[in-house]
């Protein structure tokens, strides 16, 4: 079990998107983006500093705590809603509460995992963080959500897959401990997208054909020319906006982006393993949490998954785990193999 490799907060919005706004937006948008970048940079010194409240001793039952920072940069802030309490009337608080619960339910009901650490860890969230803060992050102990600027970004609790994405960073922290750089970091981001999407699909009881396979749908305001932050089905097509630019994600190793920015392209190159999961899931049909999902979960918790694994190593483990779970010659195992071949990771 890994608890120490992710002390640097993992943010939902990639820095390159905020940098575009900081250099090309109007005065207020530039200020918001620059402030967010400064906050994100400064978070590194205070990651995981909040002591967690009591967790859940009963398997199958979460322990949720949602606080408000009241637009200040303080954690965890003022407790607004605890486990079992009724709606607060604050949209961000209640969205966070239900998002924490939906994430717990997927991991418990599908994978029998008791919270992020499988030991009943408290699910702690803070909303209304900072002034016009344009991000959400996992800091090693808790979730934090900004309210956005209201012009380009809505509140960051608005999409359940954003909440589940960031919480999955916690599961990764306690299992594989994937280093947050280059291909291992892109796998970290991709796994968070995979389980973020699975939480959304599970909550809405969607088949693979009914799912939108978008990450962060609803985050952009109507002012932005985009559907979401990422598309797992079609990486590189989620947005194409005059200010934000075009979605830079590749969907094949031929287009892999070599860069020193964004920790070696963790938010960019994650499109490749994202597409592999989408291909495997849609080939199998039905519910993704019953086909490809268990294979990816088995691989996440596999002791053979090294903290610095690259795409090829992860792909080989998914092939092996699909064979172990469904049979080496099963259609599930073949779907997984073909998915990784299609995106150029396996020959």
Active site (catalytic) residues: 166, 267
Radius of gyration of the chain (CA): 19
Closest by Cα among 258, 284, 279 to 269: 258
How far apart are the C-alpha atoms of 339 and 341, rounded to whole Å? 5
How far apart are the C-alpha atoms of 332 and 330, rounded to whole Å? 5
Structural contact between residues 147 and 128, judged by C-beta atoms closer than 8 angstroms:
yes
User: Which residue is listed with tokens 């947005």?
Assistant: 239
User: Which residue is listed with tokens 């998002």?
Assistant: 99
How far apart are the C-alpha atoms of 114 and 56, rounded to whole Å? 9
How far apart are the C-alpha atoms of 148 and 155, rounded to whole Å? 5
How far apart are the C-alpha atoms of 310 and 184, rounded to whole Å? 5
Other Cβ atoms less than 10 A from the Cβ of 8: the count is 16
How far apart are the C-alpha atoms of 46 and 139, rounded to whole Å? 8
Angle ∠(214,216,219) on CA atoms, nearest 5 = 135
């Amino acid at each position: 079990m890994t608890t120490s490799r992710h002390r640097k907060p993992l943010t939902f919005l990639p820095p390159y998107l905020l940098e575009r706004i900081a250099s090309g937006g109007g005065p207020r948008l530039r200020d918001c983006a620059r402030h967010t970048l400064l906050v994100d940079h400064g978070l590194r010194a205070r990651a995981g500093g909040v002591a967690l409240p009591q967790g859940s001793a009963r398997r199958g039952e979460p322990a949720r705590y949602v606080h408000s920072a009241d637009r200040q940069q303080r954690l965890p802030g003022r407790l607004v809603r605890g486990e079992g309490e009724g709606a607060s009337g604050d949209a961000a608080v209640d969205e966070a509460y239900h998002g924490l619960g939906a994430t717990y339910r997927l991991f418990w009901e599908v994978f029998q995992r008791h919270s992020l650490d499988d030991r009943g860890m408290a699910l702690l969230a803070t909303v209304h963080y900072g002034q016009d803060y344009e991000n959400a992050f996992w800091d090693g102990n808790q979730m934090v959500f900004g309210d956005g600027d209201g012009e380009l970004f809505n509140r960051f609790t608005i999409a359940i897959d954003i909440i589940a994405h960031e919480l999955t960073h916690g599961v990764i922290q306690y299992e594989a401990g994937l280093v947050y750089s280059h291909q291992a970091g892109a796998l970290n981001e991709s796994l968070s997208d995979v389980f973020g999407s699975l939480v959304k699909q599970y909550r809405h009881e969607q088949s693979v054909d009914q799912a939108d396979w978008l990450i962060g749908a609803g985050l952009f305001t109507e002012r932005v020319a985009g559907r979401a932050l990422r598309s797992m089905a079609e990486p590189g097509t989620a947005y194409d906006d005059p200010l934000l630019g075009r979605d830079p994600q590749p969907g094949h190793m031929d287009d892999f982006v070599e860069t020193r920015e964004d920790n070696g392209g963790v938010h960019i190159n994650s499109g490749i393993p994202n597409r592999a999961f989408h291909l495997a899931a849609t080939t199998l049909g039905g519910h993704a949490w019953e086909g490809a999902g268990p294979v990816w979960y088995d691989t996440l918790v596999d002791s053979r998954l090294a903290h610095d694994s690259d795409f090829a190593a992860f792909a080989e483990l998914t092939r092996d785990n699909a064979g172990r779970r469904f049979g080496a010659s099963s259609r599930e195992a073949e779907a997984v193999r073909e998915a990784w071949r299609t995106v150029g990771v396996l020959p």
